[in-house]
């Protein structure tokens, strides 16, 4: 039996490519995204009462990687990229049904011009199709006694420094509010692929319409340049 779903909304996110997106929600609280509801779901009735909740579950499609299929075993970055676990013991994007689930903070609900939710801390790519929104219910879903398996806590953070050039570019750029904090929180997560450690290498991450170029050496991420995205 097959089931088909259609998106109820679309994500507008500062993350313009996969590289640099945190591996789970809430790790980068400075990431603000807008979830725009699509017709016929963009009616104020569909979100009546939602603004009373502080957090929501977003079900979505891993639309950018869904054509790459799936494997029964995956290598989670948290295990260093070598050890394998079953796909259903992981949060891999490559799944039989390429659906994601993220718990995010609900900042506001707007019904003035269509319906849109302002969300914080999302791990979602720009253009992500959203299948469903559900309110988070703390007394049922918060389980401080739960075991986190091989993911036993937040990842260690890198220190982030800015070069003179990057500071100058930042001052000259017409970047959105909170951009510097977003850059710092994203780089502190260490976006490099597991077991890649080349202190000479220069990386670029796309945030809004900027290409943030940086290097990582000795536990420090250094912002080198903030350039307009190509
Ligand atoms: N919190 C969700 C979950 O557990 O289902 C997603 C976890 S998944 C490991 C997070 C990664 O998904 C991000 O780092 C990003 O690389 C990727 N991602 C986010 N949105 C995506 C999209 N629309 N298509 C493909 N990959 C996406």
Candidate CATH numbers 3.40.1280.10, 3.40.50.2300, 3.30.2310.20, 3.40.50.620; the one for domain 159-228: 3.30.2310.20
Long-range pairs of 197-206 with CB within 8 A, sequence gap ≥ 24: 203/19, 205/17, 205/19, 205/20, 206/15, 206/16, 206/17, 206/19, 206/20
Q: Which two tokens stand for residue 177?
A: 């509010």
Sign of the torsion angle spanned by Cα atoms 165, 167, 168, 174:
positive
pLDDT (mean) for 112-116? 94
Sign of the torsion angle spanned by Cα atoms 12, 18, 20, 22:
positive
Q: What's the pLDDT at 71?
A: 97
The helix (run of H) or strand (run of E) holding residue 63 is none
> How far separated are the first and last CA of the chain, in Å rounded?
44
Domain locations in the chain?
9-141, 159-228
Instruction: Reply yes or no on whether the pLDDT at 230 is more than 90.
Output: no
pLDDT (mean) for 183-188? 98
**125, 185, 192, 194: which to mutate for ligand 1, most atoms within 8 A of CB?**
125
For 163, other C-beta atoms within 10 Å of its C-beta total 15
Beta bridge partners of 149: none
CA-to-CA dists, residue 192 to 24, 64, 125, 154, 156, angstroms = 15, 19, 17, 16, 13
C-alpha span between 23 and 74 (Å, rounded): 15
Fold of 9-141: Elongation Factor Tu (Ef-tu); domain 3 (2.40.30)
Cβ < 6 Å from ligand 1: which residues? 18, 21-25, 62-65, 91, 93, 100-102, 123-125, 128
Q: What is the ipTM of this complex?
A: 0.99
Confidence grade of residue 197 (pLDDT, cut at 50, 70, 90): confident
pLDDT in tens, 155-185: 899 999 999 999 999 999 999 999 999 999 9
| Nearest ligand 1 atom to alpha carbon 23 | 14
Q: Which residue's CA is the nearest one to ligand 1's atom 1?
A: 102
With beta carbons less than 8 A apart as the criterion, state whether 26 and 121 touch: yes
pLDDT in tens, 205-225: 999 999 999 999 999 999 999
Q: Which two tokens stand for residue 77?
A: 């970055």
pLDDT in tens, 56-99: 999 999 999 999 999 999 999 889 888 999 999 999 999 999 99
| Nearest ligand 1 atom to alpha carbon 22 | 14
Instruction: Reply yes or no on whether the pLDDT at 195 is more than 80.
Output: no
Q: Where are the extended beta strands (E) located within the chain?
A: 9-12, 32-37, 55-61, 73-74, 85-86, 99-110, 116-120, 129-135, 159-162, 203-207, 210-217, 220-228
Q: What's the pLDDT at 64?
A: 98
């Amino acid at each position: 039996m097959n089931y088909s779903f259609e998106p109820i909304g679309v994500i507008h996110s500062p993350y313009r490519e996969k590289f640099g997106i945190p591996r789970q929600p809430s790790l980068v609280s400075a990431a603000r995204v807008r979830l725009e509801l699509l017709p016929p779901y963009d009616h104020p009735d569909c979100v009546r009462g939602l603004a009373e909740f502080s957090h929501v579950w977003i079900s979505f499609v891993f639309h950018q990687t869904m054509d790459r299929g799936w494997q029964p075993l995956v290598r989670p970055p948290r295990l260093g990229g070598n050890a394998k676990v079953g796909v259903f013991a992981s949060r891999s994007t490559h799944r039989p049904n390429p659906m994601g689930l993220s718990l995010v903070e609900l900042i506001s609900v707007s019904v003035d011009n269509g319906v849109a939710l302002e969300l914080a801390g999302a791990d979602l790519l720009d253009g992500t199709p959203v299948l469903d929104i559900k309110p988070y219910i703390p007394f049922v879903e918060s389980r401080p006694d739960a075991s986190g398996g091989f993911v036993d806590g937040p990842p260690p953070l890198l220190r982030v420094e800015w070069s003179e050039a990057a500071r100058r570019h930042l001052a000259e750029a017409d970047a959105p509010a909170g951009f510097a904090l977003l850059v710092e929180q994203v780089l502190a997560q260490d976006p490099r692929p597991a077991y890649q450690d080349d202190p000479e290498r220069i990386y670029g991450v796309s945030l809004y319409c900027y290409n943030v170029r940086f290097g990582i050496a000795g536990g420090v991420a250094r912002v080198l340049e903030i350039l307009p995205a190509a």
